Amino acid sequence: MSINETSRAYGAQKSSIREIAAYAGARKAEIGSENVFDFSLGNPSVPAPDAVRASIERALALPATQLHGYTPANGLPAVREAVAASLTRRFGDGAASAGDLYLTCGAAASLSITFHAVVNPGDEVIVIAPYFPEYRVWIETSGATCVEVLADPATFQVDVASVAAAITPRTKAVVINSPNNPVGSVYSRDNLAALADALREAEKSLGTAIYLVADEPYREITYGAEVPWVPSVYDRTIVCYSYSKSLSLPGERIGWVLVPPTNPDHDDLILAVAGAGRKLGFVCAPALFQRVLMDCVDCPSDVEAYAKNRRALTEGLSALGYEFIEPEGAFYLWVKALEPDAEKFFERAKALELLPVPSDSFGCPGWVRVGYCVSYETIVNSMPAWEKLAASYR
Amino acid sequence: MSINETSRAYGAQKSSIREIAAYAGARKAEIGSENVFDFSLGNPSVPAPDAVRASIERALALPATQLHGYTPANGLPAVREAVAASLTRRFGDGAASAGDLYLTCGAAASLSITFHAVVNPGDEVIVIAPYFPEYRVWIETSGATCVEVLADPATFQVDVASVAAAITPRTKAVVINSPNNPVGSVYSRDNLAALADALREAEKSLGTAIYLVADEPYREITYGAEVPWVPSVYDRTIVCYSYSKSLSLPGERIGWVLVPPTNPDHDDLILAVAGAGRKLGFVCAPALFQRVLMDCVDCPSDVEAYAKNRRALTEGLSALGYEFIEPEGAFYLWVKALEPDAEKFFERAKALELLPVPSDSFGCPGWVRVGYCVSYETIVNSMPAWEKLAASYR
């Protein structure tokens, strides 16, 4: 074989999340979708706000050559201004201006581009396990080693001492994802401040620069917790965002990278982000959905639907004696498996038509992720199966 | 500086095409847009067909979670079926089936993904100069060396003997672009057959596999010439396509990679293409515009508008004594500079508010590219300036 073996392997290796989702689809066809409780995917169950549709209809009145033409590589200036204005309203003067933003084809592109902007071959990038498994793919593709550091096993906040211990002279970045997929935790201001202190101390003692990559697609999906603005806590932050969850547009691929003006390497990073996008073949973010942001950047997410699901799921599982991390954001419940081997627990759940994702997929043993971005009925109707599953361990 | 220097450099280095376009914009603001003859960009001047708008409006009637949700990484099955059916109608039974296609965020993504699918570090990829300068960026990013082979200087067909001479044991691929940007030439069936023979001979004598990457965004923009279906000439072909030009949707980023069923490495390449897309952070092609293809895959391009421009430009320049390559496709005229140094010729043109792109940007001395995807009036009104330019050399 003379083609690229790594690419072939990544194509052949199905993500376990996608595999479970595919099984769920097949099983639904077999026994009826009402009899399969598919908690595997993170596809928003809430529709995009009506304002998105209205915005698309409005845009269609523009001359087609203008509407569908190439935009600048970093996005239409008016769109970046609208996003920056929104960030400034929410996070204070100086949070962002249009020149600090680079619009992308969604969060995956934001992260891939960010890693390619900062990483040199042989560098290390720290991720907090459990973590979204594609992080490893993009980190390794950029030429770095992916270093897993377990979150605090009691709270699933960042275990700052463990991060500090994992830092080496080759550490180029730490990735955090809060609100967190797969746990649903939100990192507190104190936790982030402690992390920032540790990073600054390491930078000082090693004479290096360490970037904090804040992956925040779930920022708007919260249940009361504060989601601190990371650039206000740590200067060398790069924020990666997507509208996949907040506007329920995962298939349209629209998001951004922000290099905050307070980042001391701002000007070089802006160039490196643009250059990384160019290197990878991202010409511009999809033009029509860039324009949608101008109208919808401040649309509230329909968190109430997820909050209702969350309540039903946590109350139901709690009554059945399951242990879990109380989710403060995103739409995942992190449930302790009833035996040490999460895969075995999953197999027993699967036999009852319950389909969460075992935690091993996220770099952490002993739990399952239950995605509650599903219909309310799915949650309610799944309870007898959860009960049988618990009973089978008694 | 500890960030990635290559990315920073690619971000800092402006493409000369974009630089000229930016100058044109500034100059128009200064002296009025009717006084600047901007032939720099390849942004279609013809609007997207009405069917595109109708298709978007129809799609908006779908439930939003379905319309805007994640699609499979290779694209919606029904869309790939529609594209494959169109290719089969046009190029014969067995041209493509849905499983052979991987939908992408446009031609840049198609090419970047293809290079990452086949290249191993140290490989070589041959391009036919003059060539679209971003090829080099994507080839080098994938880990290969970009090897330039000049086209036949009389006809700008592939110089097969020169390609054969440039092939080494490390040659992994040859990229062709027909109809050609920047020349407007279309490679004849005989020329492609000779190239295919040379590649097969080299494969046999070296014991290697050489892929022919056919970059075809201009396939539908032709003026009577046949554009042979490359997989029918050479088995180890990979076709890269985009709807940027044929449907005038450059900002929406929608295209595909086809691994033809006749490619002997088909199954491995399909996996490698999917894996390369995953590695680079392409989750799926924009969902709404995937659906547009279902309705518009056979929409005819409005070639007549470009044909009218082409006639006015070639007749006008011909009468003034300019030499050029008669364009058979795309929307560029390749005009011989009136002195050996194309940059100096460009500077003299610029002083007359004429803005083509000097050929050095495309890896070839002595010519300029005149993009005629502009208004008809721009072409007609530019003639006195072209006349002055010619007179200045007498």
DSSP reduced 3-state for A152: coil
> Is B3 close to A71, i.e. CB distance below 8 A?
no
Per-residue pLDDT, averaged over B83-90, amounts to: 98
| pLDDT above 60: residue B1 | no
Residues 27-66 on B with a CB inside 8 Å of A are 41, 43-48, 52-53, 56-57, 60, 63-65
What does the pLDDT look like over B24-63, one tens digit per residue? 999 999 999 999 999 998 889 999 999 999 999 999 999 9
| pLDDT above 80: residue B274 | yes
CATH among 3.40.50.720, 2.60.40.10, 3.40.50.20, 3.40.640.10 for A52-296: 3.40.640.10
Name the residue ranges covered by the structural domains of chain B.
5-48+301-391, 51-296
- Phi first, then psi, for residue A309 (nearest 5°) are -60, -45
Q: Give the percent of chain B with pLDDT over 70.
A: 100
Best mutation site among A280, A373, A378 for testing chain B: the one with the most B CBs within 10 Å?
A280
- Note the pLDDT of residue B14: 79
Instruction: Inform me whether the C-beta atom of residue B208 falls under 8 Å from chain A C-beta atoms.
Output: yes
| Buried b / exposed e along A15-32 (16+ C-beta atoms within 10 A) | bbbeebbeebeebeeeee
Distance from CA of B352 to the nearest CA of A (A): 27
> Is A252 close to B70, i.e. CB distance below 8 A?
no
| pLDDT above 90: residue B152 | yes
Per-residue pLDDT, averaged over B146-169, amounts to: 97
DSSP reduced 3-state for B347: helix
d(CA A246, CA A319) in angstroms, rounded, equals 31
CB B354 within 8 A of CB B139: no
A-chain residues near B288 (CB < 8 A): 251-252, 288-289
**A180: its two tokens:** 């967190």
**A374: its two tokens:** 């599903």
Q: What is the architecture of the domain spanning A5-48+301-391?
A: Alpha-Beta Complex (3.90)
Per-residue pLDDT, averaged over B254-271, amounts to: 98
**CATH code that applies to domain B51-296:** 3.40.640.10
d(CA A228, CA A196) in angstroms, rounded, equals 13
> Is B138 close to A4, i.e. CB distance below 8 A?
no
| Helix A106-118 vs helix A134-141: crossing angle, to nearest 10 | 40
What does the pLDDT look like over B172-228, one tens digit per residue? 999 999 999 999 999 999 999 999 999 999 999 999 999 999 999 999 999 999 999
What does the pLDDT look like over B309-334, one tens digit per residue? 999 999 999 999 999 999 999 999 99
In order along its 394 residues, chain A shows pLDDT tens digits of 589 999 999 999 878 888 898 899 999 999 999 999 999 988 899 999 999 999 999 999 999 999 999 999 999 999 999 999 999 999 999 999 999 999 999 999 999 999 999 999 999 999 999 999 999 999 999 999 999 999 999 999 999 999 999 999 999 999 999 999 999 999 999 999 999 999 999 999 999 999 999 999 999 999 999 999 999 999 999 999 999 999 999 999 999 999 999 999 999 999 999 999 999 999 999 999 999 999 999 998 889 999 999 999 999 999 999 999 999 999 999 999 999 999 999 999 999 999 999 999 899 999 999 999 999 999 999 999 999 999 999 9
Instruction: Inform me whether the C-beta atom of residue A165 falls under 8 Å from chain B C-beta atoms.
Output: no
d(CA B81, CA B74) in angstroms, rounded, equals 12
Element (H, E) at B241: strand B237-242
The residue in chain A having the minimum alpha-carbon distance to the alpha carbon of residue B55 is A60
- Note the pLDDT of residue A171: 98
DSSP reduced 3-state for A2: coil
Residues 235-294 on B with a CB inside 8 Å of A are 248-253, 265, 268-276, 278-289
Query: Following CA atoms B193, B196, B200, B206 in sequence, which dihedral angle do they give, to the nearest 10 degrees?
Result: 140
d(CA B139, CA B146) in angstroms, rounded, equals 6
